[in-house]
A and B are shown apart, each in its own frame.
Chain A
Amino acid sequence: MTEKIEIRGACDMPPMAKSLGRMSWNLTGSWRNVTPVIDYEKCTICMLCWKFCPDLAITCTEPPEIILDYCKGCGVCAEECPVNCIEMREGI
């Protein structure tokens, strides 16, 4: 995870608006108002949830895990899960 970059002024900037770091400091998990919870008893590790996550918030691992720091709570994973093992729970 990259840190936020401190820019005091022109002295810290390139002459044009050229990026100096990545967006991964931005923990978009705070956007969430519903949270996916995987029932690992039912999960078949088909990886559809990982495949369809727009926010790269599911690990490409066996089994997949939700990265709550980034999950925006869109619910695509729960909707797409072929065995209905992801539940969207109220709150974070």
Chain B
Amino acid sequence: MAEVPKKLTIPPEEHMCAGHLACQGCGAALAMRYALKALGPNTVFTVPACCWSVIDGPFPYTTLGVPLFHIAFEAVAASACGLAAGLEIMGKKGVNVVAWAGDGGTADIGIQALSGAAERNDNILYICYDNEAYMNTGVQRSSSTPWGAWTTTTPARHFKKRPKKDLVDIMVAHHIPYVATAAMAFPEDLVAKVAKAKDIEGMKYLQIFASCPPGWRMAPEYSVKSVRLAVNTRVWPLLEVEHGVYNINRKPRKRTPVAEYLKLQGRFAHLTEEQFEEIQGMVDRNWERLLFLEKSTHEMAGVPLKGDKAAASKGKETEAAAG
């Protein structure tokens, strides 16, 4: 019997089995695999209509090693709140109650229940795996589909002309203790964020960027590569917002052109070089906005920002004044 390797960067334990129904190279399957590693067995999932309502397998089977309660499309946040209340009353201690939804179930049809749960600050972890369209129903645009993308309801000759809805900002506006993004190409970061979130009391929101090779019209082997590029081109910044304070977790030293990310995927194949530049402009502006938010929220909270000496000294001054 071969040994378990000693130098693993994520936990070796698996809480889902092989045999699931995800497509080849599925980013959502990887996202689930990593999330489960951080959550462990004392966990309950509730899932609305999304790819994972199929991936888990048909009755009488399941893929997850933890309970999975399926619920209607717009309802997963409320379902999680009900389960959390019920499990607590049943005396089940410390159960992680996870609402696990796609971007459509989160940014579109599920946003009302999500907003309600966040405003109440109910003790649940809401995870949106974001593959930027209704993939389960055959790649229709969602409000999380980015500007420029092809989908079956935004054909190439009439591609999506509106930017992706910024769920992170919306969730931050609910004043919940923890809002973060992750990407399934960065498993260590993802596992660490889920592990951190599960121990925070109240509402936690995590949005995991997850590739969809068929929906992105991309070869399945680029599943991880594409999402790594999304982070490195700053299309999908990895960040955490704790009690309103922004932290960008990964600041790529060199600026990789967005075109490298876009050219990997057929859903952007119709775009011209000028349109690539247009997207580059959007990405750059967003990055500047996030840097500003990071700096200003640190200053307001009097927390020193790593690598920012001015803020660090100001933080000390504030501390001294408070002391």
Q: Do A and B come from one complex?
A: yes
In chain B, positions 1-30 with a C-beta closer than 8 Å to chain A are 2-5, 7-10, 12, 14, 16-22, 24-27, 29-30
Q: How many residues belonging to A are interface residues under a CB distance threshold of 8 Å?
A: 43
Question: Cβ of B33 and Cβ of A61 under 8 Å apart?
Answer: no
Contact check, B62 vs A55: say whether CB atoms are below 8 A apart.
no
A47–B16 alpha-carbon span in the complex (Å): 19
Give A44-72 interface residues, CB cut-off 8 Å to B: 45, 47, 51-52, 54-57, 59-65, 67, 69-70, 72
A89: Cβ under 8 A from any B Cβ: no
**Segment from B38-46, B221-229, B271-279 that makes contact with A:** B221-229
Q: Is the CB of B59 within 8 A of A19?
A: yes
Measured as residues with beta carbon below 8 angstroms from the partner, the interface class of chain B is 35 or more
The answer to whether B22 and A79 have CB atoms under 8 Å apart is no
Q: Which residues of B have CB within 8 Å of A73?
A: 24
With beta carbons under 8 angstroms apart, the residue of B2, B29, B57, B61 that contacts A59 is: B2
Cα–Cα distance between A23 and B55 once the two chains are bound (Å):
10
Chain B residues near A74 (CB, 8 Å)?
24-25, 213, 220-221, 223
A-B pairs under 8 A by CB, number: 125
Partner of B12, one of A18, A52, A60: A60
Contacts of A84 in B (CB 8 A): none
| B residues 202-243 touching A (CB-CB < 8 Å) | 213, 219-225
Task: Give chain B nearest CB distance to A43 CB in angstroms.
Answer: 11
Residue of B nearest to A28 (CB): B19
Set of chain B residues within 8 Å of A56, measured between Cβ atoms: 14, 16-18, 33
**CB of A17 closer than 8 Å to a CB of B:** yes
Asked if B60 and A24 sit within 8 Å, CB to CB, the answer is: no
Q: Residue on B with the closest CB to A46?
A: B7
Q: Mark B51-90, 1 if CB is under 8 A from A, else 0.
A: 0000011011111010000000000000000000000000
Q: A20 at the A/B interface (Cβ < 8 Å)?
A: yes
Note all chain B residues with C-beta closer than 8 A to A21: 60-62
B60 and A20: CB pair below 8 A? yes
The answer to whether A45 touches B5, judged by C-beta atoms less than 8 angstroms apart, is yes
Q: Which residues of B contact A62 (CB under 8 A)?
A: 2-5
Contact A23 B224 (CB under 8 A): no
Query: In the complex the two chains form, what is the Cα distance from A55 to B22 in whole Å?
Result: 8
CA distance A24 to B26 in the complex (A): 17
Interchain CB contact (< 8 A) of A57 among B18, B21, B65: B18
- Say whether chain A's binding surface is mostly helix, strand, loop, or mixed: loop
Interface string of A17-45 (1 = CB under 8 A from B): 11111111111100100000000000001
Please state if B10 and A51 are interface contacts (CB–CB under 8 Å). yes
B18 in complex: contacting residue of A18, A28, A45, A80, CB < 8 Å: A28
Contact A60 B223 (CB under 8 A): no
Chain A residue numbers with a CB within 8 Å of B304 are: none
B12 — which chain A residues lie within 8 A by C-beta?
60
Report the minimal beta-carbon distance from B93 to chain A, rounded to whole angstroms.
24
Q: In the complex, A58→B171 CA distance in Å? A: 37
A88 CA to B57 CA in the complex, in Å?
27
Which of A26, A57, A70, A88 has most chain B Cβ within 10 Å?
A26
Please indicate the chain A residues that have their CB under 8 angstroms from the CB of B30 in the complex. 52, 54
Known interface pairs A20-B61, A23-B21, A24-B18; 13 further A-B residue pairs with C-beta atoms within 8 A, sorted by A's residue number:
A13-B60, A18-B59, A21-B62, A22-B63, A23-B56, A25-B19, A51-B8, A54-B24, A55-B22, A61-B2, A67-B18, A74-B221, A75-B220
Could you list which residues of chain B lie within 8 angstroms of chain A, going by C-beta atoms?
2-5, 7-10, 12, 14, 16-22, 24-27, 29-30, 33, 56-57, 59-63, 65, 187, 213, 219-225
A-B contact pairs, 11 of them (CB 8 A): A19-B62, A20-B61, A21-B61, A22-B62, A23-B63, A24-B18, A54-B25, A56-B33, A60-B4, A74-B213, A79-B222
